[in-house]
Amino acid sequence: MQLSIDLTGRDVLVTGSGTAARQAVRRYEAAGARVFRLSVPEGAPGDGPLPERPFLVAAVDDGQPGWEPLLERSRAAGIPVAAEPAAGPAGHVTLVGGGPGTLDLLTVGAVNALRDADVVFYDRLAPYQELERLTSGRLVDVGKQPGHHKVTQGDIEKLMVEAALAGENVVRLKGGDPFVFGRGGEEVASCVAAGVPVNVISGVTSAISVPAAAGIPVTHREVSHMFTVVSGHAPLTGKEHAHLAGLCGLGGTIVVLMGIGTLPQLAAGLRRAGMRADMPMAVVERGYRPGQRTTIAELGTIENAAAGCSNPAVLVIGEVVGVAMASRNHAAASADLNRLAASLLEA
Ligand code: SAH
């Protein structure tokens, strides 16, 4: 929960102990206040000096008797006393889809969940640059670089559950949608196993939005009436000929996530499975982020064309890529103009 009041430079005294008091301290600090704590009616050794005359006393209902005289004295001295709610019985976890990395594609539900968070565990692909503006909760980076895991999946789940059991309102912010190659299902399962209440806020998946950023519609009337989203990890990388043949046989758009590392094998496999060498194909890197780039080629030439491409990227294979080329949307056209202007300036 965030306070909608600017307390910059004001002294606020928070009374009480436990999770609710910690949450109140964070709320008031986020609103700009200089916060002082008084943990027990007599004052605890760790509390430090107290302000002579606070702007406000935030009284956390921690069930302890003995606060009333202090609160009475404050009121009598004309210092406002705000009653702070006690912490709920238990914390909970909200799995939040952060979309492809731009604030514009964050849902209202995601914004609300972040605002109410005590702690946010976020991924490399989540819109983490914006987090400090969106939440006053503690920010914990559990992002993984491809190849080396910063925090293991098991540890992430443990951290989330522990924080929730300690009474915190936990947000697990993930890129795109939590249930599209996001291991969201596993995280829900570990919360359920630990008896922690958990809910999921869907996000805008990169599988649809990143092609859109390049002007590519994943379906288009009379061109493609289906799309299949696959992971560039197994089984497409193996000798799963039947799998690739099935995919080609569908005749729809194929969208591949995490596909940069295995692009040559995928292109060769699709060719072996009978796909035309001149099937249009696009690689869209860093959708909605600085340096967004689209590389368009054909199945037979993509390996060379995309040699310099890097993660994160979404691959699109199908006739819809041609639709994008035919009807360049306004954004793509103006991006081209910007590039043209930049290259003229460089020249
Ligand atoms: N849950 C996510 C996908 C996680 S897998 C979602 O629904 O979008 C990670 C992969 O998503 C990356 O390897 C890349 O293929 C893709 N991806 C996510 N964000 C992206 C972005 N902004 N630009 C390009 N690709 C992106």
Cα within 13 Å of Cα(300), Cβ side: 6
Enumerate domains of the chain plus CATH numbers: 11-84 (3.40.50), 92-204 (3.40.1010.10), 207-327 (3.30.950.10)
Confidence class of residue 331 from pLDDT cuts 50, 70 and 90?
low
pTM for the full predicted model: 0.75
Q: Known catalytic residue: 258?
A: yes
95, 105, 125, 144, best to mutate for ligand 1 pocket (most atoms within 8 Å of CB): 125
Q: Which of 117-126, 284-293, 300-309 has the lowest average pLDDT?
A: 117-126
Question: Quick one: which H or E segment has residue 37?
Answer: strand 34-38
Banded pLDDT at 302 (limits 50, 70, 90): very high
Q: What is the pLDDT at residue 267?
A: 94
Q: How many of the other CB atoms lie within 10 Å of CB of 258?
A: 17
pLDDT at 344 over 80: no
Ligand 1 centroid to residue 160 C-alpha, Å: 22
**What is the four-CA torsion angle of 155, 191, 176, 263, rounded to 10 degrees?**
50
Q: Closest by alpha carbon to 312, among 139, 201, 176?
A: 176
Nearest to 318 by CA among 285, 296, 293: 296
Rounded distance from Cα 176 to ligand 1 centre (Å):
6
Over the stretch 84-99, which tens digit does the pLDDT of each residue have? 877 655 799 999 999 9
H or E stretch covering 132: helix 131-134
HSE of 131 in the Cβ direction (CA atoms, 13 Å)? 27
State mean pLDDT over 331-344: 60
> Residues 84, 86, 92, 96: what is their CA dihedral angle, to the nearest 10 degrees?
0
**Integer Cα distance of 187 and 172 in angstroms:** 9
- Tens digits of residue pLDDT in 69-79: 888 889 999 99
C-beta of residue 126 within 8 angstroms of C-beta of residue 108: no
Is 1 a catalytic site residue? no
**Nearest C-alpha to atom 6 of ligand 1 is from which residue?**
176
Beta carbon of 27 within 6 Å of any ligand 1 atom: no
At 174, which helix (H) or strand (E)? strand 169-174
pLDDT in tens, 229-285: 999 986 565 567 888 999 999 999 999 999 999 999 999 999 999 999 999 999 999
Residues 123-175: tens digit of each pLDDT: 888 777 889 999 999 999 998 665 565 789 999 999 999 999 988 999 999 99
Q: What percent of the chain has pLDDT over 90?
A: 64
Q: What is the pLDDT of residue 8?
A: 92
Find out whether the beta carbon of 229 lies less than 6 Å from any atom of ligand 1. Answer: no
Which residues is 174 bridged to in the sheet?
A: 97
| 101-104 LR contacts (CB < 8 Å, sep 24+) | 101/125, 101/126, 101/127, 101/175, 101/287, 101/288, 101/289, 102/127, 102/288, 102/289, 103/127, 103/130, 104/288
Residue 214 has pLDDT above 70, yes or no: yes
Nearest alpha carbon to residue 130 among 81, 157, 180, 96: 96
Q: Give me the chain's average pLDDT, please.
A: 87
Q: Give the span between the Cα atoms of 57 and 67, in whole angstroms.
A: 11
CA–centroid distance, residue 310 to ligand 1 (Å) = 12
Q: Which residues pair with 172 in a beta bridge?
A: 95, 121
The 10 Å Cβ neighbour count of residue 82 is 14
11, 62, 123, 177: the catalytic one is 123
Q: Is 288 in the pocket of ligand 1 (CB under 6 A)?
A: yes
Question: What average pLDDT does this structure show over 48-74?
Answer: 84
257 CA → ligand 1 middle, Å: 6
Q: Are 110 and 91 in contact (CB under 8 A)?
A: no
- Establish whether residue 224 lines the binding site of ligand 1, counting it when its CB lies within 6 angstroms of any ligand atom: no
Residue keyed to tokens 């519609």: 217
Atom of ligand 1 nearest to the CA of 256: 15
Cβ(204)–Cβ(107) under 8 Å? yes
**Residues 303-328, buried b or exposed e (16+ Cβ, 10 A)?**
eeebeebebbbbbbbbebbbbbeeee
| Catalytic (active site) residue 226 | no
Report the share of the chain in percent with pLDDT over 70.
86
How far is residue 307's CA from residue 323's CA, in Å, rounded to a whole number? 24
316 lines ligand 1 (CB under 6 A): no
Query: Average of pLDDT values for 37-41?
Result: 77
Measured from the Cα of 285, ligand 1's closest atom is: 24
The pLDDT-based confidence of 65 (bands split at 50, 70, 90) is confident
- For ligand 1, the distance from its centroid to the CA atom of residue 329, given in whole angstroms, is 22
Average pLDDT of 52-76? 86
pLDDT at 80 over 80: yes
With a 6 Å cutoff on the Cβ, whether 125 touches ligand 1 is: yes
Taking the C-alpha atoms of residue 100 and residue 176, their distance in angstroms, rounded to an integer, is 5
